Amino acid sequence: QNQKTKEQIESLLQNGNHKELRDRLCCRLSFGTAGLRSAMGAGFCYINDLTVIQSTQGIYKYLERCFPDFKQRGFVVGYDTRGQVTSNCSSKKLAKLTAAVLLAKDVPVHFFSTYVPTPFVPYAVRQLKAVAGVMITASHNRKEDNGYKVYWENGAQITSPHDKEIIKCIEECVEPWKDSWNENLVDTSPLRQDPLQKICDCYMEDLKKICYHRELNEQTNLKFVHTSFHGVGHDYVQSAFKAFGFQPPIPVPEQKDPDPDFSTVKCPNPEEGESVLELSLRLAEKENAKVVVATDPDADRLAVAEQQEDGCWKVFTGNELAALFGWWMFSCWKENCSEDADVKNVYMLATTVSSKILRAIAHKEGFHFEETLPGFKWIGSRVKDLLDNGKEVLFAFEESIGFMCGTSVLDKDGVSAAVVIAEMATYLESKNLTLAQKLIEIYEMYGYHISKTSYFLCYDPSTIKRIFEKLRNFDAPQSYPKFCGIYNILHVRDITTGYDSSQPNEKSVLPVSKSSQMITFTFQNGCVATLRTSGTEPKIKYYAEMCALPEQSDRSVLEEELQKLIEALIENFLEPDKNGLIWRSA
């Protein structure tokens, strides 16, 4: 019933563009590391009115099977500010259709009356004891994309087997039901409630549990600049700073309000560093603010930059921020815990492609550290298990600037991370330290962890498959490489096949993930490197880290060794020229 997407298909048909019709109509969306995500437009593998209705009908069928009390407990729906005129597709419209499918089946729906940060949906699912929730967002992806993120009753994103079962249910009911198209149900149904005020209030109240230096925050002269990258973050970050006793951060005026075209940045991903933070850094210099915090468009991730003594800006990597957060959350726990608190009951988590710095801190301080597969859905589920077993989880992260401080939200949260980093900077300033100086102290105490993450673009799935199959059959069939250039490989772990040469039975401890490619190499020189495909974009990513002991403190030697190893990895294993890979633009 969407004329714009209908016209797209009719026009392809009239122009005889059969290949594109096949591409759009002969495959369905599937759940990646962040739910369903694709370009907006016509076709079954795109995000549009119809695929959102079909997905929600499948979810309804599955939830009805799983929860006898589904119609008492209800469902949460949130959305960001994305939109595309050419396909008459916006996050809010897709959210209304999601709600319509459920309201027409007499399911109570907690539908936010305005855009919210992604973490508000998992938070609301747990607060309101709903059976599940959906957030319509494509986070930091390009403006053409949108997505459909599903959270389970535990407040974590769905993992296997739920995702596979939902896909089966979607395929069983692809024909839209009678009232599924009725987006006005949100405005007329008595079963629709607006949780906005309640969730905002509760969230800000819960946030205060991880505020440890309110007096310092109230008195500090330190100024902060915040950019919300044309997304949802502005109002919520302002409120979070207020909850911690701070003056509000200075917003970047050009990027404060929602803009689905992300018109001031070449891509809306704060992870891209200084090139996309240009406006906020210039404003900070003008306002004499030393720290910039940037939330991505759906405010679930956080980038941080700090002005150094020479006037230059240091943009921290996700792994460096995690070292700071890990140190901070543990120090605050230690200072505030009861006398009988047991450090062995304390946990921190990270995805397996992220820095091992938390492992080093845990080893020295006596708490537990665990790794999960890439994607916060694995962290969220594992944290919930630990909490249910009486454990205390302080912090979790993934290197792509996703942080979870405390356990109010079992997903990454840029709003809470922004205000925690502000408090940390304020505390450090009272000790005459900067974030960058503290980071060096952490590395000197627990060992340098120098990491580099980047990617190549590859739009041809068969090329990606060929690259990874070659690694599995390197010198001979079913044999992985023993060397990478001059570097000796100690162990290989292949999450796609479940192989791990470091285990006595050669089976991976982490669960097998057949739908994505991921191989990790551990080298004799202490470096760990992973090659994997992205769960949300056409990328081959590489992650490499030198993990040194505290006594190996010559950073420049470690950096040089890491750089040479990465060059060997690219040249021998990825072969970009031969495979037509596009280098990440500097």
Residues carrying an active site annotation: 139
Q: DSSP labels for 207-239?
A: HGGG---HHHHHH----EEEE-TTSSHHHHHHH
What is the spatial distance between Cα 59 and Cα 39, in angstroms, rounded to a whole number?
21
Question: Which among 36, 188, 174, 166 is positioned nearest to 103, based on CA atoms?
Answer: 188
**Pair of tokens at residue 189:** 């149904």
What is the spatial distance between Cα 245 and Cα 457, in angstroms, rounded to a whole number?
44
What is the spatial distance between Cα 342 and Cα 362, in angstroms, rounded to a whole number?
13
Q: Give the neighbor-by-neighbor strand order of the sheet with 302-307.
A: 250-251, 224-227, 291-295, 302-307, 313-315
Q: Are 244 and 423 in contact (CB under 8 A)?
A: yes
Residue 524 sits at φ, ψ, to 5 deg, of: -65, -30
Can you list the alpha helix ranges (DSSP code H) found in 67-131?
70-73, 91-103, 120-127
What is the spatial distance between Cα 457 and Cα 437, in angstroms, rounded to a whole number?
35
What is the spatial distance between Cα 272 and Cα 255, in angstroms, rounded to a whole number?
16
Question: Which among 30, 54, 50 is positioned nearest to 40, based on CA atoms?
Answer: 50
**Pair of tokens at residue 480:** 């992985």
Asked if the bond preceding 119 is cis, omega within 30° of 0, the reply is: no
